[in-house]
Structure 1
Amino acid sequence: MKASSDECTSIRIEDQTDTDGVDEVSTRESGIFTTWKQCIAEMDIPGINKLLDKELLPTASELNGACSAFKRRSPIVARICGKICKEIKNVSEDITSTWAAYPYPCKSKDEECNVIFVVYTKQPKCPNICFRDFRIYQRGESEFSEESKTVVSLDITPHDEDNQLIDIENLQMIIENNADTLLDKHSNINAITSGIKKSVGYMQNHHIQKRVLCVVIYVHVKGLIPLEEDPFPSYIDKYPTDVLEGDVTLFNKGPFDYREHVIMGLAIKASNMNSYGTLGGFVMSDKYGVCALTCCHCLFNENEISQINSNGGNLPVDLQNCTTVYQACRQESKSFGTVAEVIHDEKMDVALINVIDRFPESGEFPETDLETGDSNPPEFYSGRIREPNDIQRGTDVFKFGISTNFTKGRFNLPSKLVVLNKRFRRRVFKGQIEVISTDGSFAKEGDSGALIFLTERKRTFCLGLIVAGFTDGTVLATPIGKILTALECPNRLMSFRPVNRLSGDSGVVEMEVDDD
């Protein structure tokens, strides 16, 4: 299968002065009368293992020679590179991980044997990492090129009718069917999803966007391939691949003023968690009465999530009615409810909180110093919801989350499939709404659980609940209608009577009354 040339990128490699010959002296001083050059020339694997056991490493040219002689996928080359990676990691406490790679595309087969060590650091601007004469490419853990952001910014035109979307369901089925194979063969994948435009020539100063459905593969570093792996295929089924730099983040983190009655957009946390999420909206449940919505991953740690997954995505007995939820604030936190139900599967990541104190009385959001550009602050009194399939691409939407507060974006796709590969744990998100940022970030860490809204004819509707987002600013949200159906709740959120003024949210004046 032909490899994807889209993995090409320009990279800067730290290339140190050659120290060929140093290890030959070291081996003699250690009483080992053999050299790396001899072992490579004679294909002497036991000899190489003895050198490695004595912590005697090859030079860069000797490593490349071993890679050429034994081939880059061989176990002995993997052991050599593993030893070097370990030594590189010990150079600085700023280094989080390192791995051996080769540049792609290659001008010749020999170029596959030019080993480069990719080094991830805690911060983007750490001092240059050097280790002997090895070639090192250094990158911050959260540092990515701007290509994917450029793609997103060019991805959407307001109210654009795109005939390609007719085929989007078939593309997502192809992605789902091929995701495990891709992840098994390629260890550097962060996420796989669908795209409606393919990026070409970004690093060659002739960047264009091809309007074509494609399989988008997100990696940390583009243009460098793990030494023991092949490049990505250029096509999967009939769809071209588009390799971009980026990652997906679950948005749990983040603020904080105490409220006597809880409202949408507050920072919330569970007693067992150090991170925060956003309180979404409220619903009247036949089982529990007044409840609040947020994301499951905001309230449960990794071990508890594993228990939930083992229980079919639902709360196991030992976690039922014992997870207390607090409003996280600058003063002492105070609880307002307990987790009644969760759903954690391919289609949603949601927690239903049974509110037992500080009941909501308002459809307002927290006050901020951020200018919204509107004459009235955002609010949501009616409880109305909308299905994403009814929304045109490019429609303006907004949300309120604890990290980015009030932000605007544009609705892009009604049903997105994303395959995540986080810390070697794979997860599939199906049927997610895709929203694109229009100015800055639409959502960041801490905004998980926030609701997304749109306004039509002066009426505000809830569209979905934020779950995660890409580093390029694209945000994923679960359709609110699917959440309410799965939780066996009414097909609307709670409504409230505006207090002492007409609401900008359609002027609703009666609770639970809506003729539309």
Structure 2
Amino acid sequence: MNCINACLFCGNHKRQDDHKMKNIVSKCKKIHPYFGENQASSLSRRKLSLRCHSPEHMCSMRLDHLLYFIAYHIDNDEFKRLKLILTGPEGISGNILEKCNTCSALFTVLKQSGYISGDNVSILLKVLHILRKEELKQLIEQYCVDEGMDFHNYKSGLAQPYVSHNQKLNEMWKKTGRNETIYEECEKICKLIENMSYSIFHVWPAYDTKANDDIVFVVLTKSIGDKLQVEEELGNIGYNIFVTNVDSNSNESEQVIKKQTKLKSNVCQFQIESMKNVINKHSDRLLQNHQYLSAISGSTVRSKNFSLGKSKHCVSVQSCIVLYVIAKGKVPLHENTFESQIDGIPVDVREGTFETTNLPSQKYFRPVKMGCQITSNKTSPSYGTLGGFYYHTDLGLCGITCAHVVLDEAEMHDLRGEKKIWNTDPPMVFQPDISRLKYQLGPVKEVVYKAGNDSSSGIDMAIFKLEGRAPNSGHFPAGPGLCFETGRTLGTSGLKHNTQVLKYGRTTELTRGYIEFENVTVRAIRYERRYTVNNCEYTYFLKNQIQIRPDISDFRPFNDDGDSGAFVFAKDTDNQLACIGMCVGKIDLSAVVIPISVIKEELGVSQLYDFRWNHISEKLKEIDREMKIRNNQQNKMDKKLDKILSKLSSSSKKK
């Protein structure tokens, strides 16, 4: 039988002297545009001179060449994902996969094991679909057409990589409960799900308290668009999944606030103090025992039956401890459910997460103003708000904002529980962004991040020296009549439940709200990464913060991404604005605020910068200018008088 050269995909063959390799390449490039000459030359160097025995032999040969070409176009990271995907419940043994160091070797194993054959390439299609290798999928489509297979039948099953083991998993869970076998199996499934889409950044196993405690896999995405895409991609994966995104929980908090405004919640101060004491006593235990608990607060109203629909949702006047989680009713597999009461006070679990609020705006201000956008060379393109100013005895006039606005996460992690002072190579603060050198405001001089404890409030603060564009008034970028000139402050002892407050931030600008609770504990959960300190997981959290609910008539949150650092104000007895704290984050529509008392304590001042001294100084300068002008005029008049007197004197002598 004559030795032939064959096309790597279509199987076209001629006698060697009639069909040179370059002609094969040329023809193949017309049929298969993704087949390049470099690949053909590389393959020809492997001496792919084949003997054609039968159509089945040719089909197997074309499949081998197709697999080699696909393997050539899968990089190392994709290969690692591919191996994880194939270790599913109906997949290949991990021991076998460990021996496959290359994608070509893996495809050989798949072919030998019967997962891939000349008339069955469905698993190949599914893998390439997950890896989003569209060009390679088109090659398989052409292969299916050439081999007389129905490509559309394969395409319809792309979202079903494995037969479901969900029932078996739940039977094991109900029978044995928590054990290492269950945890290991669920961990494998989590890795499988996480590697099925680039839009997924965290998965964890839980049991659904609303579905007979069946196992459900909570899948997190970063946006609502990603959520919809992942729901489509996972499709009929065969496991119970709950897809949500960190930026969008249910609207329970919004509905509670709307109904709360219609209720008269006359809760006495004793009840509020009782809730504060319970949170101080139990917050550490709750955070330690519940991995995805994001915030602990108190409320004068309680929400019931939200999951049953709008008609059955009830909000009643009752003091309660509010626990915020990202997925209500989905309890992590290794945890117990929340208790229904803590020290006799009812517990209300709501969907919501705490987030620090630094993000993308806008305008350049000269002189700089409170409430405008700032960033740093460490955090750009993430932005925050310039809160206010104070006078430092050595540095002069300084700006105040949150530490996480000017430091990245790694620096915040290293800062924990400490105060840092920069003498050399400090981060630089810019307004509004870092695109021009003239936007530079000055260097960061001090930062502090402390979580707080039962008796003190947590703080996240940075101060920076103003080296230019110094403010000349307490006006904000916008807001008619809004001005904070006096530097006055108001501690929590002067605040009451439902006290009206306002703030001006770079994103939401002027908003109004009401004090909801003064003793909130919050934790920012970084689902996609973990920091460890002294063998314990480290996360950003703050204790004894103020929670502000928005004025629902504004139809927007009190603060949002980009408002971190904005000062919050209430009116004092003289109807003047007094600062009560600084925005540090949010829980859904509500704001989380650092009390001004801990800020003043760290700064070592009794009040913030008083712009009235600026006005007095300007007035004194104006008086000084007037005096100089009058002195000059007086000197000129004196000179004229001297000349006149001199002339008179000389004329009298002549007489």
- TM category, shorter: 0.7 to 0.9
Report the CA distance shift for 1:173/1:388 in structure 2 as closer, same or farther (over 3 A): closer
Question: In structure 1, what is the equivalent of residue 333 of structure 2?
Answer: 227
Task: Give the aligned partner of residue 116 of structure 1.
Answer: 216
The code of the aligned residue for 2:389 comes to F
Which sits farther off after the overlay, 418-427 or 475-484? Answer: 418-427
Query: Which residue of 1 is the match for residue 607 of structure 2?
Result: 491
Aligned mates of 1:394, 1:172 — CA distance in 2? 16
SS at match of 2:489: coil
Report what 1:407 is aligned to.
Answer: 511
Does 1 or 2 have the higher relative contact order (CA < 8 Å, sep 6+)? 1
- C-alpha distance in structure 1 between counterparts of 2:206 and 2:424, whole Å: 47
Determine the structure 2 residue equivalent to 1:49: none
Task: Quote how far apart the aligned CAs of 1:290 are.
Answer: 1.0
The whole-number CA distance in structure 2 between the counterparts of 1:235 and 1:341 is: 42
Instruction: State the shift of 1:321 in Å.
Output: 6.8
* Matched position secondary structure for 2:418: coil
Aligned to 2:474: 363
CA RMSD of superposed structures (Å): 3.3
Q: Which residue of 2 aligns with 1:386?
A: 490
Is the 2:356–2:524 Cα contact (8 Å) retained in structure 1? no
Query: Identity over aligned residues, as a percent?
Result: 28
Matches within 5 A, 1:428-507: 428-438=541-551, 439=554, 440-455=556-571, 459-471=576-588, 473-496=589-612
The aligned counterpart of 1:416 is 519
Offset of residue 484 of structure 1: 2.0
Q: Is the 8 A contact 1:249 1:469 kept in 2?
A: yes
2:182 counterpart SS class: helix
Task: State whether residues 160 and 393 of structure 1, in contact with CA within 8 Å, keep that contact through their aligned partners in structure 2.
Answer: no
Counterpart Cα distance in 2 of 1:293 and 1:488? 14
SS in 2 for 1:212: strand
Per-residue deviation at 1:58? 6.2
CA–CA distance in 2 between the matches of 1:155 and 1:350? Answer: 32
- C-alpha distance in 2 between matches for 1:145 and 1:452: 27
Judge conservation of contact 1:156–1:393 (CA < 8 Å) in 2: no
Preserved contact between residue 520 and residue 547 of structure 2 (Cα < 8 Å): no
**Residue 87 (1) aligns with residue 192 (2):** yes
Secondary structure of the residue aligned to 2:241 is strand
Asked if 1:166 is matched to 2:270, the reply is yes
> 1:19 — aligned with what?
none
CA distance in 2, matches of 1:130, 1:166: 52
Residue 268 of structure 1 is aligned with which of 341, 363, 374?
A: 374
Given that residues 520 and 546 in structure 2 are in contact (C-alpha distance below 8 angstroms), is that contact kept between their aligned partners in structure 1?
A: no
Paired with 1:330 and 1:308, the residues of 2 have a C-alpha distance of: 24
Q: 2:546 & 2:289 partners in 1: Cα distance?
A: 29
**For residues 150 and 362 of structure 1, do their structure 2 counterparts lie closer, same or farther at Cα, with a shift above 3 Å needed?**
same
Q: 3-state DSSP class of the match of 1:151? A: helix
Provide closer, same or farther for how the CA distance between residues 341 and 244 of structure 1 changes in structure 2, counting only shifts above 3 A. same
Relative distance call for 1:83 and 1:233 in structure 2 (3 A) is same
State whether residues 284 and 490 of structure 1, in contact with CA within 8 Å, keep that contact through their aligned partners in structure 2. no
Q: Structure 1 residues 509 and 412 mapped into 2: Cα distance closer, same or farther (>3 Å)?
A: farther
User: In the TM superposition, what whole-angstrom CA distance separates every residue of 1:270-317 from its partner, at most 9, and x where no partner exists?
Assistant: 2111211111111122232211111111111122122322xx420056
Partner of 1:300: 407
* Whole-Å separation in 2 of the counterparts to 1:295 and 1:268: 11
Alignment correspondent of 1:193: 297
Q: Which amino acid aligns with 2:442?
A: G
Contact 1:160 1:394 in 2 (8 A): no
Query: CA shift at 1:152, angstroms?
Result: 3.0
* Contact kept? 1:88, 1:131, Cα under 8 Å: no
1:283 is the counterpart of 2:386? no
CA distance in 1, matches of 2:410, 2:209: 38
Aligned match for 2:281, one of 149, 152, 177: 177
Greater CA deviation, 174-183 or 189-198?
Answer: 174-183
Mapped partners of 2:503, 2:495: distance in 1: 16
Q: CA deviation at 1:495?
A: 1.4
- Tell me, in whole angstroms, the C-alpha distance in 2 between the residues paired with 1:25 and 1:215: 48
Q: Where does residue 10 of structure 1 map in the other structure?
A: none
Give secondary structure in 1 for the equivalent of 2:544. Answer: strand
| Partners of 1:179 and 1:419 within 8 A in 2 | no
Question: CA distance change for structure 1 residues 481 and 88 in 2, over 3 Å: closer, same or farther?
Answer: closer
The structure-2 alpha-carbon separation of the partners of 1:297 and 1:396, relative to structure 1 and needing over 3 Å to count, comes to: same
| 1:234, distance to aligned residue in structure 2 (A) | 1.1
Structure-2 separation of matches of 1:359 and 1:314: 26
Alpha-carbon spacing, 1:261–1:421, altered in 2? closer, same or farther (3 Å): closer
Gaps of 5+ in 1: 1-21, 32-54, 500-506, 512-516
Offset at 1:449? 0.8
Contact residue 91 and residue 131 of structure 1 kept, 8 A: no
- SS for the counterpart of 1:117 is strand
Distance change >3 Å, CA 64–CA 416, structure 1 → 2:
same
Counterpart Cα distance in 2 of 1:195 and 1:153: 14
Give the drift of 1:80.
1.3
Q: How far off its partner does 1:320 sit? A: 6.1
Q: How much does 1:64 deviate?
A: 2.0
Q: Quick one: distance in 1 between partners of 2:203 and 2:189? A: 9
What runs of 5+ residues in structure 2 fail to find an aligned partner?
Answer: 1-88, 97-111, 115-160, 527-536, 621-655
Distance 1:465 1:176, change over 3 A: same
Kept in 2: contact 1:387–1:481 (CA 8 A)? yes
Q: What TM-score, normalized to structure 1?
A: 0.76
Is 1:210 the equivalent of 2:316?
Answer: yes
| 4+ runs deviating over 6 angstroms | 24-27, 55-58, 157-160, 507-511
Q: CA 1:24–1:496 in 2, change beyond 3 Å: closer, same or farther? A: closer
What's the CA shift for 1:261?
1.8
Matches within 5 A, 1:137-156: 137-155=242-260
Check 1:264–1:496 CA distance in 2 against 1; reply closer, same or farther (3 A cut): farther
Q: Give, in whole Å, the separation in 1 of the partners of 2:490 and 2:92.
A: 74
What SS does the aligned partner of 2:461 have? strand
Alpha-carbon deviation of 1:24?
Answer: 11
| SS of equivalent to 1:93 | coil
Task: Give the structure with the larger helix fraction.
Answer: 2
Q: Distance in 2 between matches of 1:280 and 1:84?
A: 46
Aligned to 2:168: 62
Looking at structure 2, the residues matched to 287 and 498 of structure 1 have their Cα atoms a distance apart, in angstroms, of 19
Q: Supply the distance in 2 between the matched residues of 1:485 and 1:84 (Cα, whole angstroms).
A: 50
Write the distance in 2 (CA, Å) between the matches of 1:206 and 1:386: 41
For residue 264 of structure 1, report the CA deviation from its aligned partner.
Answer: 0.8
Alpha-carbon distance in structure 1 between the residues aligned to 2:330 and 2:421: 43
1:158: how far off?
A: 10
